[in-house]
Amino acid sequence: MARYKPYSYEQTKLIPVSYDRQILPGTFEHTLNDTIDSMDMAIFESRYVNDETGAPAYDPRILLKVILYAYSKGIIFSRRIARACDENIIFMALSADSRPHFTTIADFVSSLHEEIVSLFRHVLQICMELELIDGSMFAIDGVKLPSNASKEWSGTKADLHKKREKLEAALRYMVEQHRKRDTVDEDKDDDAKKFSQRLDRARTKIEKLDRWLDENGDKPGSRGRIVQSNVTDNESAKMKTAHGVLQGYNGIAVVDSKHQVVVNAEAFGESQDAGLLKTAVEGTKNMLPGDSKGAESLKGSIVTADTGFHSTENLAYLEGEKIDGYIPDCNFRKRDPRFASAVRHKISRGLSPWGKKLFDRTDFKYEKRGDYYICPEGNRLEHQNADLSDGTVTYRKYVCKQRLCNTCTVRSHCLTQKHHKARSVFLRSDGGGKYCDRMAAKIDTEQGRTIYSRRMGIVEPVFGNLRWAKGLSRFTLRGKKKVNVQWLLYCLVHNIEKICNFGQPIFA
């Protein structure tokens, strides 16, 4: 039988370590180290007033290296970063064995909102020098991530007042039940301690709500309606995702097509993408270095975004800026001949609950002089007073009288659900149809479909890298400024990784 030399991974060994030899050329940490060393740290000078008195501060370069390397490994909490500086040799090498305390790391990240843009722009300058950005095509998209806040503390001000009343009622019930038990139980020391803890928690929640209700009002939404606030982080928002509703932020990224470098990024406490396109485009102009293509304007560049960014205002803005935009409406695949046979795979498509083919809007005749529709059975659909909007397009709603629909002989061909009372038809009324029609005509060409199909391959891998490879499953900070810093730091990690993988060394 063969014999092998014994070994144990639990053993320790004391050896001399040269930190500079631990940062091997060609690795991410080597690129990170050289990139941070090339930055001008004068922007941090105003933070410190310890020239003559006070303890020496940690060099911002050291803190940036440690934080960005930790983010690249999926370590996002400051305590774990500090522990890694005590235990991991690469962290020791990058920090030169400085071992910053976790509070120092947390404070540095939280207060980085004034310097982060300059740092991000410096890395973009390096990417430009390495020709990793060509500016010919940009893809814009957003990823919704949970924040350090709970949905439990969300609601309008009226909802939160009701929540407070329920907490007070629960508190009174707890006190009443405890008094009843006191008259029966003799050994109640443990119960009294637990009860006191429960009372303290309930009172803390009520005090927290009282403070918020006294200092804050209702939160207005982008459409002028009142939206739900959050007691813990009022700048975050409730957002619908494929995995349910979360309380968080929408991380927007503008990505160049050549090597998927993120040229602009910002986190927003808004769930709707449509209102963020202009901000993203204008931010890209300001973020790109001054001598780069497109810094003053993105004229001649192609900008693509998914249907969530489709709106009359956005299309008009792109045309006004002379930007070649490709933002389809939600029905563009229905017009695509490649999806012509899709109906075969959806048996219920276009059918009513009775299994019969439904009338569509083309079966209704519009009478412009009287401003009403005529249904296939000759009944009139009158215009309702209030117009409707989905945030991108405004519609006029026309509804048939309920008594006419109830007695209609072709009701089963008209209503999508049996419990629906009357048929309605919507007509676009925002006057922006010309922009949408021109965009639809452009998207429906073979060239338009080819250009738009590149969008997913440009921007989605960035989110895949940040979320799954780098472990960004949630934001750990509160408030838009702090969350935006964390989002930009992760995008910095992504861009430095691109320099490592595709760039040639330019550091002396």
d(CA 82, CA 92): 10
What are 90-101's pLDDT values in tens digits? 999 999 999 999
Q: How far apart are CA 312 and CA 194, in angstroms?
A: 59
Would the pLDDT of 136 be above 50?
yes
Within a 10 A sphere around the Cβ of 276, how many other Cβ atoms? Answer: 22
* Same domain membership, residue 279 and residue 137: yes
Same domain, 161 and 184: yes
Same domain assignment for residues 23 and 163: no
CATH number for the domain that contains residue 254: 3.30.420.10
Does a structural domain hold residue 229?
no
Do 67 and 203 lie in one domain? The reply is no
List the domain range (segments joined by +) for residue 168.
Answer: 157-217
Lowest-pLDDT choice from 107-121, 309-323, 352-366, 484-498: 352-366
The 8-class DSSP code of residue 196 comes to: H
Kindly tell me if the per-residue pLDDT of 431 is higher than 90.
no
Do 140 and 242 have their domain in common?
Answer: yes
Q: Is residue 128 part of a domain?
A: no
Co-location of 342 and 328 in the same domain:
no
| 309, 422: one domain | no
Q: Is residue 402 part of a domain?
A: yes
Cα distances (angstroms) measured from residue 3 to each of 6, 9, 11, 272: 9, 19, 21, 66
pLDDT of residue 324: 92
Q: Read off the pLDDT of residues 362-377 as tens digits, 9 standing for 90 and up.
A: 788 888 888 888 888 8
Statement to judge: residues 25 and 104 lie in one domain: yes
Same domain flag for 139 and 278: yes
Q: What is the mean pLDDT of the chain?
A: 85
Look at the chain and report how many structural domains it folds into: 4
- The reply to whether 507 falls in a domain is no
Q: Given the DSSP bridges, would you call strands 302-305 and 324-326 parallel, antiparallel or unpaired?
A: parallel
DSSP string, 406-461: HT-TTGGGT-SSTT--S-EEEEE-SS-HHHHHHHHHHHTSHHHHHHHHHHHHHHHH
Q: What is the mean pLDDT of residues 25-53?
A: 90
Please report how the helices 446-464 and 433-443 are oriented relative to each other, as an axis angle in degrees rounded to 10.
90
Q: How many CB atoms lie within 10 A of CB 236?
A: 29
Q: Express each pLDDT in 1-35 by its tens digit.
A: 899 999 999 988 888 888 989 999 999 999 999 99
Query: Is 123 within a domain?
Result: no
Among residues of the chain, what percentage have pLDDT more than 70?
88
Q: pLDDT band at 283, cuts 50/70/90? A: very high
Residues 6 or more apart whose CB falls under 8 angstroms from that of 212 comprise 160, 231
- CA 217, CA 215: separation in Å to the nearest integer? 7
Q: Is 466 a member of any domain? A: yes
Running DSSP on this structure, what letter comes out for residue 358?
P
11 lies in a domain?
no
Same-domain check for residues 344 and 421 = yes
Is 420 found in the same domain as 290? no
For residues 250 and 388, membership in a common domain is answered with: no
Measure Cα distances from 308 to 23, 269, 390, 394 in Å. Answer: 43, 16, 11, 15
Nearest Cα neighbor of 462 from 271, 254, 250 is 254
Residue 346's SS3 state is coil
Fill in the DSSP letter of residue 59.
P
Residue 361 lies inside a defined structural domain of this protein: yes
Structure tokens at 24: 């091997």
